[in-house]
Amino acid sequence: MSAETGWSEAVDSREAVAAPDPTRFSHPDTVAVLAGRRSGGAELAPSLHPTTTFRIPSLESGRRMALDPTESHYYTRNGNPTVRAFEEAMAELEGAEASRAFASGMGAVSCVILGLCSSGDHIVAQRQLYSGTQFLLQAVCPRFGIDVTFVDGTEPGAFQAAVRPGKTMLVFAETPANPCLDLVDLEELGAIRGPLKAVDATFAPPSITRPLDYGVDLSLHSATKGLGGHNDATLGVVSGSAELMASLWAFAILQGANAAPFDAMNGLRGLRTLGVRLERQSATAQRLAEALSDHPGVETVRYPGLASHPQHQLAKRQMRMFGGLLAFDLARGHDAGERFVEAVKLAQIATSLGGPETLVTHSASTTHAGLSPEELAAAGIGPGTIRISVGLEHTDDVVADLLHAADKANA
């Protein structure tokens, strides 16, 4: 072995170690552990490739790479090995042919909406939406000549009735919806013919629901939330067919909202524990929802796992677990909401969700603060609406803390 070639020969002589094939297993918790390892060699932890650009071996290779928008060893705005591992893992989890990662959930949402729709097109969307998505549809789309019709996503047949044949390019849904956990019937949505169907499933990661299984064309997530799961990765992701994702990929390169390798690495690490985190969070959320339902100061509790949820039967049909998010309304309104969030001791006031810490937020003052009173009412958000993202603390401690805060809010 010569001094000049010894390093490369030593690397090349390593025995290849094949990772288990995630496609052989059907349960999403197993897939989450095994997925995204095709190019990782023998490493068990995700590998970080922080480089923005790569050496090109020849002009011919450079020409080929330049014409392939998904190339992962050309320029990181197009693709990156660490980001690609996260994308491959998400595609396997979603049952999709391809996935594309973005710098945030809104990067993913805006790519889908603006990458698919042009001036003169029509979108049907539900009223119960994350406020950023609502603002994009309500204020930005009209500037580009894109018409949007909002419907009640819980009303059977509402999406279909609003479709304009030959004009509607996209039907956009969010389920469970932020913050009140209203559900959309995915089977009904997937059966709509003509327009493309996209679902933001941030509140129900693939271990809970896979929209593509119901005939939906695109599944979106703010992977910053439950998928990443540790409040240390800002990511979005879209999954769908290879043909549709190729079209979106070309727009995404121009959009420039590409995922950072470090965030993709943390997102991939988060996927490894997705199943067990969701099991714990769902169990605690169920206990908490039941306890809050019995509290005299609480008017309404909205959690898909409660028999009192108006769409509980639908939740049982399309959700494997009911998730770690719940919302409730304090009977004494806005002032009670402020007292509640200020009275918590274990839980923390923050606007995100899906992480290991239990987080509380007064929706009208934070996540949906930009909406008018009429828009808040249309989204089901009252002056005393509280959203809780249940963490991984012991269930007894979480329940005790939030019941104590409800006592204080009602005092």
In whole angstroms, what is the distance from residue 278 CA to residue 273 CA?
9
Q: CATH number for 22-271: choose from 3.20.20.60, 3.40.50.300, 3.40.640.10, 3.30.110.40.
A: 3.40.640.10
Based on the residue annotation, tell me whether 225 is a catalytic residue of this protein. yes
130 Cβ contact partners less than 8 Å away, ≥ 6 residues apart: 174, 177, 178, 200, 202, 367
Q: Name the CATH superfamily, with its identifier, for domain 275-410.
A: Aspartate Aminotransferase, domain 1 (3.90.1150.10)
Domain with CATH 3.90.1150.10 in the chain: 275-410
Active-site annotation holder among 182, 185, 200, 217: 200
Residue 197 annotated in active site: no
Phi and psi at 238, nearest 5°, equal -125, 140
Residue of 40, 156, 161 lying closest to 89 (CA atoms): 40
Choosing from 225, 272, 302, 339, which is the catalytic residue? 225
Secondary structure in 3-state letters for the chain = CCCCCHHHHHHHCCCCCCCCCHHHCCCHHHHHHHCCCCCCCCCCCCCCCCCCECCCCCHHHHHHHHCCCCCCCCECCCCCHHHHHHHHHHHHHHCCCEEEEECCHHHHHHHHHHHHCCCCCEEEEECCCCHHHHHHHHHHHHHHCCEEEEECCCCCCHHHHHCCCCCEEEEEEECCCCCCCCCCCHHHHHCCCCCEEEEECCCCCCCCCCHHHHCCCEEEECCCCCCCCCCCCCCEEEEECHHHHHHHHHHHHHHCCECCHHHHHHHHHHHCCHHHHHHHHHHHHHHHHHHHHCCCCEEEEECCCCCCCCCHHHHHHHCCCCCCEEEEEECCHHHHHHHHHHHCCCCEECCCCCCCCCEEEEHHHCCCCCCCHHHHHHCCCCCCEEEEECCCCCHHHHHHHHHHHHHHHHC
For residue 387, indicate whether it is catalytic.
Answer: no
Of 38, 77, 287, 332, catalytic = 77
Q: For 196-238, what is each residue's pLDDT tens digit?
A: 999 999 999 999 999 999 999 999 999 999 999 999 999 999 9
User: Measured between alpha carbons, how far is residue 180 from residues 60, 177, 227 in Å?
Assistant: 54, 6, 20
To the query of whether residue 303 is one of the catalytic residues in this protein, the response is no
Which one of the listed residues 130, 185, 263, 320 is annotated catalytic?
A: 130
Comparing C-alpha atoms, which of 240, 236, 195 is closest to residue 217? 240
- Say how many C-beta atoms besides its own lie within 10 A of residue 302's C-beta: 23
Q: What is the pLDDT along the chain (411 residues), one digit of tens a residue?
A: 444 444 444 444 455 667 788 878 889 999 999 999 987 678 899 999 999 999 999 999 999 999 888 899 999 999 999 999 999 999 999 999 999 999 999 999 999 999 999 999 999 999 999 989 999 999 999 999 999 999 999 999 999 999 999 999 999 999 999 999 999 999 999 999 999 999 999 999 999 999 999 999 999 999 999 999 999 999 999 999 999 999 999 999 999 999 999 999 999 999 999 999 999 999 999 999 999 999 999 999 999 999 999 999 999 999 999 999 999 999 988 889 999 999 999 999 998 999 999 999 988 777 777 778 888 787 788 888 999 999 999 999 999 999 999 999 988
Q: Give CATH 3.40.640.10 domain extents, the chain.
A: 22-271
CB 239 within 8 A of CB 94: yes
Q: What is the dihedral of CA 238, 242, 247, 251, to 10 degrees?
A: 40
Contacts 24+ apart (CB under 8 A), 153-159: 153/126, 153/127, 153/128, 153/177, 153/182, 153/184, 154/128, 154/182, 154/183, 154/184, 154/310, 154/311, 156/185, 156/188, 157/188, 158/126, 159/124, 159/126, 159/184, 159/188, 159/189, 159/192
Q: How many CB atoms lie within 10 A of CB 95?
A: 16
> How many whole angstroms separate alpha carbon 278 and alpha carbon 229?
10
